[in-house]
Structure 1
Amino acid sequence: MRVALLISGGGSNMKALVADMAGDHPCRPCLVASNDPAAGGIAWAAGQGIATAVVDHRPYGRDRAGFETALRDRIDATQPDLICLAGFMRILTPDFIRAYAGRMLNIHPSLLPKYPGLHTHARALQAGDTQAGCTVHEVTADLDAGPILGQARVPVLPGDTEETLAARILVQEHRLYPAVLRRVAQGDRARLDLG
């Protein structure tokens, strides 16, 4: 299966997915695309021989449809079977999501349905949670509310800051996302729970 990966920054989750897509893995990366020309993950992907594309959202201003049309053109040119959002920091419209219904995955740094959206680590600490983690879910038109495909948990430790909690969760993101992608590519959408 061909996988397009969308990023907005350094792409650490994208790198974990690409590293796993080798050998007997049922997937191969066909594109790494970003909305930010400065995204460090683009140069890394190009260095790996993966096709890359940048569609800067800023010149489009409030024209989300225009931006998404340009992005879809780049994605569709590579004919992906699946799309993985890996730190892609743009909220996508229902029209874009519909075009890839059932084929788009996202990783989110909380134990959904808790804390959709931003500032997940701060919100978990403020709530006094004893556990935090990450979730891979199917992307639907409702923000961070699609079917959960996998979760990984970490304890919230005394003295944790947003940064220390985020770092521990990121380690689990790099385990969970590749495991879920592999299962989905093999037709298995049963929920996976790690640690």
Structure 2
Amino acid sequence: MSETLPAGARFAVLASGSGSNLQALLDAYPENVAVVGGDRAGAFAFRRAKKAGVPVVHLDPGDYRTREDFDREFAGRIAAYDVSLVVGAGYMRILSPVFLARFPAVLNVHPSLLPAFRGLDAPGQALRAGVEQTGVSVHFMVEEVDAGPVVAQEAVPVLPGDTRETLLERMHPVEHRLLVGAVRDHFQGKSGF
């Protein structure tokens, strides 16, 4: 179901995997996703983008001497699409200050109730900690990992017998809904950035 963003709203989506968050954004804002970028050539997210007619930017980090060199080139290629927002939707690389400084705002979705369980494998961290609930956060990215201002959160219960996969399966619809809403709120000036 598509929503309407203000005229001229254009954003980039970064993805490294299957692209289910990307698909939610493509479904909601088919006219506003300007480019999809990523670091894994075989990411299914790229197939989703191409099917939707959205350009893809792929760079292999192994082709660059440093993370900053990679991010400088990656940011330049993404910026060429005249976007005012970048959305991390399952992008698994930490973005350096070189990348972040290039754009007015960079949103990210994270599978925990930040500030809890920052970094990699947040669902696994939640299961190992034995918590009764975790959740999903959408936040603005800053130099420190998963430490930027949170703009949307929703709790997801951890059920007895949950595995990382079953927990993630319940988190995905929440991620999709919160991310679509956070993009809308950003372009409507309701996110504070």
Do they superpose with TM above 0.5? Answer: yes
CA–CA distance in structure 1, aligned partners of residues 167 and 16 of structure 2? 21
After TM superposition, list the pairs within 5 Å mapping 1:1-195 onto structure 2: 1-22=9-30, 28-60=32-64, 62-101=65-104, 103-189=105-191
Partner of 2:3: none
The one-letter code of the counterpart of 2:95 is L
Per-residue CA deviation, residues 80-114 of structure 1 (Å, 9 max, x unaligned), is 0110011111111122212224x110000111000
Q: Helix, strand or coil: the match of 2:156?
A: strand
Consecutive aligned runs of 4 or more in structure 1 exceeding 6 Å deviation: none
Q: RMSD between aligned alpha carbons?
A: 1.4
CA–CA distance in structure 2, aligned partners of residues 123 and 6 of structure 1? 24
CA–CA distance in structure 2, aligned partners of residues 132 and 12 of structure 1? 20
Which range moved further: 80-89 or 123-132? 123-132
Per-residue CA deviation, residues 130-183 of structure 1 (Å, 9 max, x unaligned), is 111110000001100000000121111111111111111112111111011111
Count of residues in Structure 1 that have an aligned counterpart in Structure 2: 184
CA–CA distance in structure 1, aligned partners of residues 125 and 15 of structure 2? 24
CA–CA distance in structure 1, aligned partners of residues 58 and 125 of structure 2? 32
Please report how far the alpha carbon of residue 48 of structure 1 lies from its aligned counterpart in structure 2 after TM superposition.
Answer: 0.8
5+ residue gaps, structure 2, are 1-8
CA–CA distance in structure 1, aligned partners of residues 29 and 39 of structure 2? 23
The one-letter code of the counterpart of 1:111 is L
Identity %: 40
Question: Is contact 2:71–2:98 with CA below 8 Å preserved after alignment?
Answer: no
Q: Helix, strand or coil: the match of 1:99?
A: coil
TM-score in terms of structure 1 length: 0.90
Which range moved further: 92-101 or 158-167? 92-101
Partner of 1:193: none
5+ residue gaps, structure 1, are 191-195
TM-score in terms of structure 2 length: 0.91
